[in-house]
Amino acid sequence: MSIVLVGVNHKTAPVEMRELLAFSEEACTEGLRLLVDGEVVREGLIVSTCNRVEVVAATTTEKMQEGTERISDFLSVSRNLPRDFFYDHVYNRTEEDAVRHLFRVTSSLDSMVVGEPQVLGQVRRAYSLALEAGTAGRVLNRLVHHAFHVAKRVRTETGIAANAVSISYMAVELGKKIFNTLKGHSVLLIGGGEMAELSARHLINAGAEGVLIANRTVETAERLAAEFNGTAISLNDLPDYLAEADIVICSTGAEDYVVTEALARKALEERRNRPAFFIDISVPRNVDPAIGELPNMFVFDIDDLEAVVTSNIREREKEAERAELIVESEIMQFQQALRALDFGPTIGALRQKLQDIARLELARQKNRLGQLTPEQERAVEALLLSTVNKISHPVLSQMRRSYEASDIETIQAWRDIFGLEE
């Protein structure tokens, strides 16, 4: 058996094309039943996300080329697009290359932001859709589980997902670095805007408790307070509340400092020197940078955050190189396992071969046996065959057992003993 893969991703195709090729979940199960014919394409799986559409299939090694063709046709028919439309943007991968591609996708090495965790869940979902459609069999089961295993190894053995690579997530990372856990730590959101709100949401998801919202417009403050289950306060009351917050996210359109050094000094005193940090994503800045000089107060403006994010991305790319090595070593293991999966038919062939030997010997010795009645002839044949079967049965069933357990080493041993190399 061989793996073939046909797909487009964010590097090869623009979003206009990707959205035309994308599959909804229903289209996925439906399409899979159409794609898998049991003849050319034995098993199938479709991973469709906003950044990629990948069709993975299992075919016999002889029909690999046909399989790729069939997938391209399938894409054209099911998405109702002429093949020429996406021809230049689609990549075809077979065997090792197809395995490598899926492993890299699942481990988030092929993602727009290397190391992002969503893609693993998306592959998992795609797999359960294929199971639902009944198009994931022995080969794809093995492949997908191996891909999950690779993703897990990459995640735990490299720092590929270690450091935040988005500004909104930096707040969580810094919070954990300073407070160890965000549980029991409060957030003050001054102003609003997409990035500030996203930061606050990340913090709450990570365990932060107690959100204060200060906004110029009362409606916005109340809307955000309802959304984050927090309390709306007036911007004028900021001096009274600043000391309560461990994490301050500031994003207003103000021309001048909203959090002045004097305010921060007062807060620090009231907080009895407990640490606090400020994330200032407003331009012009709203948090006086001089606050960063105060003990136990940390200030990050948008440039600081961007610099850290850039260095974190570079760090991830370095880790990605280590991840590629893991992927390579796992490809070899998978290819071995795949060869083991081809062993099933070989066992049947071996049984046939042994019986053929018995029949051939009978034919050769027939003349010497003299005239036999048809009954006697059948008895001799039965005798031979049942001897062969009785002797070979335990061996064959043992073989089948190692095949079913996908015990690669033992299968290799069986191949060597009986000279079953293809």
Partner 1 sequence: MRSLLLAVLAAYIVAAIHAILAFVNKRKALHRISLWSLAAGFALHTAALLADWIIDGHYPLFYRRETLSFLAWTLAATYGLVLFRYGTQALGAFILPPISVLVFIAAIIQSDSNTAVSASGFSTTWLFPVHTTLVIFAYAAFFVVFLASSMYLFQERALKLKTFGAAFHRLPSLTTVNEIATSAAAIGLTMLTVGIATGMMWSASRDGHIWRNDPKEIFAALTWLLYLLLIIYRSTAGWRGRRAAWLGVAGFALVLCTFFGARLMGGYHVFG
Binding positions for partner 1, rule: CB under 8 A = 156-157, 159, 162-163, 174, 176-180, 272-275, 292, 295-296, 298, 300, 304, 307-308, 311-312
Is 50 annotated in the active site? yes
What is the rounded CA–CA span in Å between residue 223 and residue 220? 5
* H helices present in 80-188, as ranges: 83-87, 95-106, 118-133, 138-157, 167-179
Q: Name 48's bridge partners.
A: 53
Residue type, 369: L
Q: Which is nearer to partner 1, 145 or 177 (CB)?
A: 177
Q: Which is nearer to partner 1, 217 or 296 (CB)?
A: 296
Residue type, 31: G
- Set 11, 24, 37, 50: catalytic member: 50
Give the containing element (helix H, strand E) for 54: strand 52-59
Q: Which is nearer to partner 1, 237 or 293 (CB)?
A: 293
The minimum distance between CB 182 and partner 1, in angstroms, equals 11
The burial of 374, by beta-carbon neighbours within 10 Å (0-12 exposed, 13-18 middle, 19 or more buried), is given as exposed
CB 115 within 8 A of CB 316: yes
Q: Which is nearer to partner 1, 168 or 346 (CB)?
A: 168
Q: Which residues contact 125 (CB under 8 A, 6 or more apart)?
A: 25
The torsion defined by the Cα of 191, 194, 195 and 199, in degrees rounded to 10, comes to 80
Q: How many CB atoms lie within 10 A of CB 259?
A: 23
Q: What is residue 183's DSSP assignment?
A: B
Q: Which is nearer to partner 1, 227 or 315 (CB)?
A: 315
What is the rounded CA–CA span in Å between residue 247 and residue 255? 22
Positions annotated as catalytic residues are 50
